[in-house]
């Protein structure tokens, strides 16, 4: 179950990964193209269109930066684009904004063969994917992620959806894109804090199943933080390979896909307890993973040395390694609300070692409290 080949690619050219659903009869396999500056390579997009017209969903932050480049490149290939520009923010990942997309698609007479492009971070990707899954009972869509988090995580795997007033990501669909186009050059304009938040999910892949990648990240963290294009491309590729393998094996999260939630049980409690938006998701996952490592040690799974390396790598990435101070009982309460609770038991993803995760539902609450007391600021 582990990727064992060493990392050997160091060039800056485009690389392509295929997400393969071997168990399904229809071929829903799709490519993930990764490269520096590939936003202008419209032939990649054009190759999978069924019509010389696309709708591009973006937001008021990303559109001024990258929409013109994309639509001009498409226009050169004879493809007309309909821009749909939404307000920026997690607060807009809701039914009203979704309706704005439908309004624009209908007004512009978009058809079953019109492909919808998502140009932006995870919020735009999730909204657009859900719109594509439901508009005319499903139209093709392409992910063009522009945050590190979206390039390594949210654009791959087919989870789409919106928030409900009573919970995050509560309404949605599994719907796979036709293609993912990750241009690492778009990350040049990403705020530092958002870059680091994406790195938290990258580290996660190393921890749950790819020890060689974890070691590589330990060695290359400074170059990753400085946005060295070759290092970014490698980190994105390796992350997507890991996520693609997990998703292909378990598309609808009935098994191994749950391992992707390492650090997320504590993390969601932090995000929720502090009020959404105060901590970025990746920041909460970083601290949550350090807590999960501490809990794994208390469960006699991982050793001290590995726990220290985990603490060190998040610190190197400039991510939080302690949870904010709340009453431990409050944390337990918040964790009981988590989606991964099944039959009243909170399930945790723990680590046997760096590179091997395991799901456990048998954790004594005293140990969780010990971890919280040790790992709060």
Binding site for Zn(2+): what residues are annotated?
A: 201, 264, 281
Residue with tokens 């990727």: 3
Instruction: Please tell me which residue in 251, 261, 271, 272 is annotated as part of the active site.
Output: 261
Q: Which of 20, 215, 218, 253 is catalytic?
A: 253
The DSSP result for 238-272, as a single string, is HHHHHHHHHHHH-TTSSSGGGGGGTTHHHHHHHHH
Active site residue 333: no
**Rounded to the nearest whole angstrom, what is the least distance from the CB of residue 39 to ligand NAD in the complex?**
10
Please say which residue, 92 or 348, places its beta carbon nearer to ligand NAD: 92
**Distance in Å, CB of 369 to ligand NAD, minimum:** 28
Residues in binding site for NAD(+): 88-93, 122-126, 146-147, 159, 168, 186-189
Cα end-to-end distance, the chain, whole Å:
36
Active-site annotation holds for 264: yes
Indicate the residue among 142 and 372 with the shorter CB distance to ligand NAD: 142
Report the DSSP pairing between strands 356-360 and 159-164. unpaired
Which residue of the set 243, 298, 340, 347 is catalytic? 243
Q: For ligand NAD, which is the closer residue by CB, 64 or 138?
A: 64
- Does the active-site annotation cover 159? yes
CA dihedral 123, 270, 195, 242 (to 10 degrees): -80
Instruction: Give burial (CB, 10 Å; 0-12/13-18/19+) of 69.
Output: middle
Nearest approach in angstroms of CB 243 to ligand NAD is 9
Which residues fall in the annotated binding site? 88-93, 122-126, 146-147, 159, 168, 186-189, 201, 264, 281
Closest approach, Cβ 326 to ligand NAD, in A, equals 22
Write down the residue that tokens 């963290």 correspond to.
Answer: 221
Per annotation, catalytic residue among 26, 107, 109, 137: 137
CB nearer to ligand NAD: pick between 62 and 372: 62
Task: Establish whether 137 is a catalytic residue.
Answer: yes
Q: How far apart are CA 153 and CA 156, in angstroms?
A: 6
**Closest separation in Å from C-beta 339 to ligand NAD:** 12
Strand partners, 351: 357
DSSP 23: T
Min. distance of Cβ 62 from ligand NAD in angstroms? 5
Which is the catalytic residue, given 15, 33, 53, 264?
264
Which two tokens mark 48? 């999978």
Active site residue 33: no
**Residue 191 or 365: which CB sits closer to ligand NAD?**
191
Residue 173 CB, shortest distance to ligand NAD, in Å, is 11
Give the whole-angstrom CA distance, residue 14 versus residue 43.
Answer: 13
Q: For residue 201, indicate whether it is catalytic.
A: yes
What is the per-residue DSSP string for 208-234? HH-HHHHHHHHHHHHHHHTT-HHHHHH
> How many whole angstroms separate alpha carbon 330 and alpha carbon 240?
35
194 catalytic, yes or no? no
Choice between 201 and 306, CB closer to ligand NAD: 201
d(CA 117, CA 55): 6
Residue 16's contacts (CB-CB under 8 Å, 6 or more residues apart) are 31, 32, 33, 34
Name which of 11, 67, 46, 42 is nearest 234 in CA terms.
11
Q: Which of 209, 268, 298, 347 is catalytic?
A: 268
Binding site for ligand NAD (CB under 6 A): 59, 61-62, 65, 88, 90, 93, 120-124, 126, 146-147, 149-150, 153-154, 157, 159, 169, 186, 189-190, 194, 197
Catalytic residue among 159, 204, 209, 297: 159
Q: Return the half-sphere exposure (C-beta side, CA atoms, 13 A cut-off) of residue 323.
A: 34
Going by C-beta distance under 8 Å and a sequence separation of 6 or more, which residues neighbour residue 96?
A: none
Which whole-number Å values give the CA distances from 171 to 102, 120, 168, 304, in the listed order?
16, 20, 8, 40
Catalytic residue list contains 360 = no
C-beta closer to ligand NAD: residue 114 or 261: 261
For this structure, is 204 an active site residue?
no
The catalytic residue positions are 137, 159, 201, 243, 253, 257, 261, 264, 268, 281
């Amino acid at each position: 179950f582990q990727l064992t080949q060493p990392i050997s690619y160091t060039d800056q050219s485009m690389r392509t990964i295929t997400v393969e659903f071997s168990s399904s009869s229809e071929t829903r396999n799709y490519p993930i193209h990764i490269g520096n500056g590939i936003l202008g390579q419209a032939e990649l997009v054009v190759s999978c269109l069924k019509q010389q017209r696309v709708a591009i969903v973006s937001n008021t932050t990303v559109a001024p930066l990258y929409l013109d480049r994309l639509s001009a490149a498409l226009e050169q290939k004879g493809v007309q684009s309909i821009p749909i520009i939404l307000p920026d923010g997690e607060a807009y990942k809701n039914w009203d904004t979704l309706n704005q997309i439908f309004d624009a698609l209908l007004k512009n007479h978009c058809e079953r063969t019109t492909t919808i492009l998502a140009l932006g971070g995870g919020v735009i990707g999730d909204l657009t994917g859900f719109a594509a899954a439901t508009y005319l009972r499903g139209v093709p869509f392409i992910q063009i992620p522009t945050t590190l988090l979206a390039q390594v995580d949210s654009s791959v795997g087919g989870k789409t959806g919106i928030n409900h007033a009573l919970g995050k990501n509560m309404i949605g669909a599994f719907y796979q894109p036709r293609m993912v186009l990750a241009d690492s050059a778009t990350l040049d304009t990403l705020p530092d804090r958002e870059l680091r938040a994406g790195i938290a999910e990258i580290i996660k892949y190393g921890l749950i199943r790819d020890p060689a990648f974890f070691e590589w990240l330990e060695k290359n963290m400074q170059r990753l933080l400085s946005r060295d294009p070759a290092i970014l491309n490698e980190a994105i590729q390796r992350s997507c390979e890991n996520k693609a393998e997990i998703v292909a094996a378990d598309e609808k999260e009935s098994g191994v896909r749950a391992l992707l939630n390492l650090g997320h049980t504590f993390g969601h409690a932090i995000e929720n307890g502090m009020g959404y938006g105060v901590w970025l998701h990746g920041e909460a996952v970083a601290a949550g993973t350090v807590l999960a490592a501490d809990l794994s040690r208390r469960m006699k799974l991982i050793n001290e040395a590995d726990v220290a390396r985990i603490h060190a790598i998040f610190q190197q990435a400039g991510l939080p390694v302690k949870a904010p101070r709340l009453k431990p009982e409050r944390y337990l309460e918040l964790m009981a609300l988590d989606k991964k609770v099944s039959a009243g038991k909170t399930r945790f993803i723990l680590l046997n070692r760096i590179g091997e995760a395991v799901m456990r539902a048998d954790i004594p609450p005293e140990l969780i409290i010990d971890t919280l007391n040790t790992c709060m600021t």
